[in-house]
Chains A and B, each alone.
With several copies, the nearest count.
Chain A
Amino acid sequence: MIDISDIKLSNAQIAWRAAQDIQDGAYVNLGIGFPEMVASYQPEGREVIFHTENGVLGFGAAPAPGEEDWDLINAGKKAITQKPGTSFFHHADSFAMVRGGHLDVAILGAYQIAQNGDLANWSTGKGGIPAVGGAMDLVQSAKRVAVVTDHITKKGDPKLVESCTMPLTGVGCVTRIYSSLAVVDIANNRFVLREKIPAISLDDLQALTGAELYTNEGVDDLICPEDLL
């Protein structure tokens, strides 16, 4: 199997690519960890309003070290800041926004994504302590649910699969995957390849994917700024 370690996109590049699809004025929730990086790559001239499950809308970037106020954190318990237009609300109101379909985009990480849009990202199913947080609410109700992820696991197994073997976070919810090798849409219960990095062949990409990649609508080159590492 092909070694992709030298050609795959960095997390920053994946985040950059995901950020390009977020429209001006969108209300967006970013999952804890890697997905949070998407906030750093908003294109100039677009104003995006970020939601965090713990009751803040329109928050600003992380404060300088030492400037943290621990009453003002995001869902990952990291310090954030206020900016003009910020609002605070309680948890039931926060999830009324989520469940009521008011968020334009939710971007999450993934263990597995199935070709029917099923997502597994909360539990490896191998014992340990399950922790679901707000992911099950977000994936079932945001207007658009996207995933940022490595294309394969550290062991080399496909993360894009025919059907998930790990416990599901939500059914039929993901519509776009930004992976370290490609941009893949989910439509009509199949993976539709939209973009791939030029350094990988279609055959190699298919070999690293657990279900058929449909290419009949045309595949563009996935080009990201090279200095994002």
Chain B
Amino acid sequence: MDITVATPREVIQQIPDGATVMIGGFGGSGAPIELVHALIDHGAKHLTVVNNNAGNGHVGLAALIEQGQVDKLICSFPRSADPTVFVEAYKANKIALEIVPQGTLAERIRCGGAGIPAFYTPTAYGTEVAEGKPVEEFEGRPYIRERWLKADYALIKGDVGDRHGNMTYRMAARNFNPIMATAAKVTIAQVSRVVDAGGIDPEHVVTPGIFVNHLVEIANPAQEEELNRAEAVYP
């Protein structure tokens, strides 16, 4: 069993127009820049993207939005050091925005992967984010009901991956990546290093291979923060 592929292109090109795509990362940390750039090269349009943020500068998710490929963004925090691209698209009504509190976003994704269609949370009760959502009391405290979130594709970034798809992450670059891997029909992962099965201690696997469909080695991945400091623009 070997789920590795040589280049992002050969697997990214299966993503059709209109797909829902989860993109890992929190800001630039853990963002699968090379996979996102392959998605720009591929050109799929009318995407719904799930990410914590809305991109920064003119690379990665910001570049995907700048290319007009994203119809809707589901995120918790569409602000960043340089959110120009998203802000312009949003103000021009070129992109729809669904704001989800960060913990609710994480749990909706986990539930999507774990087969739980709905759950109750105290988060956002009594706020405008809760408008229209069912409310119920448990032990005298009010909660709102939230629904799972699933995707057609997840693009995630890890550190080491084996040929079965078992993966580790690097420090805070873990963030949304492991849960997004579980919530998509097809998960495409980039890792800095591919090893043979057995190359990761079974105790240290964070994402078991069952959640990963395609694995590509990007030996020296770009770091969004550094690209932006260099004022990089993609493509």
Contact = CB atoms under 8 A, between A and B. Distances in A.
> Does chain A bind chain B?
yes
A225 interface: no
A88 B174 contact: yes
A202 interface: no
B206 interface: yes
A169 B28 contact: no
Contacts of A84: 196-199
A100 B218 CA distance: 29
B110 A97 contact: no
Given A88-B174, A132-B99, A102 B127 contact: no
Interface in A56-73: 56-58, 68-73
Contact of B127 (A56, A85, A95, A168): A168
B33 to A, nearest CB: 12
A207 B159 CA distance: 57
A88 B175 CA distance: 9
Interface string B164-199: 101001111111111100100000000000001111
Given A100-B113, A136-B129, A137-B101, A71 B206 contact: no
Interface residues of B, number: 76
Contacts of A129: 78-79, 83, 86-87, 90, 97
Nearest to B110: A92
B175 A82 contact: no
Contacts of B205: 87-89
B113 A71 contact: no
Interface in B188-235: 196-200, 202-203, 205-206, 208-211, 223-226
Interface string B96-121: 01011111111101101111100001
Contacts of B223: 70-71
Interface string B33-56: 000000000000000000010000
Interface string A154-183: 000000000000011111000000000000
Contact of A141 (B86, B106, B115, B210): B115
B32 interface: no
Nearest to A79: B225
Interface stretch (A1-9, A47-55, A186-194): A47-55
A87 B208 contact: yes
B106 A94 contact: yes
A29 to B, nearest CB: 11
B123 A136 contact: yes
Nearest to B199: A84
24 contacts: A27-B210, A49-B210, A58-B164, A70-B224, A77-B26, A84-B196, A84-B199, A88-B174, A90-B175, A91-B106, A91-B179, A94-B106, A95-B103, A95-B114, A102-B113, A102-B211, A103-B210, A132-B99, A132-B129, A133-B77, A134-B101, A137-B103, A141-B123, A170-B124
Interface of A: 24-25, 27, 47, 49, 51-58, 68-74, 77, 80, 82-92, 94-103, 118, 129-137, 140-141, 167-171
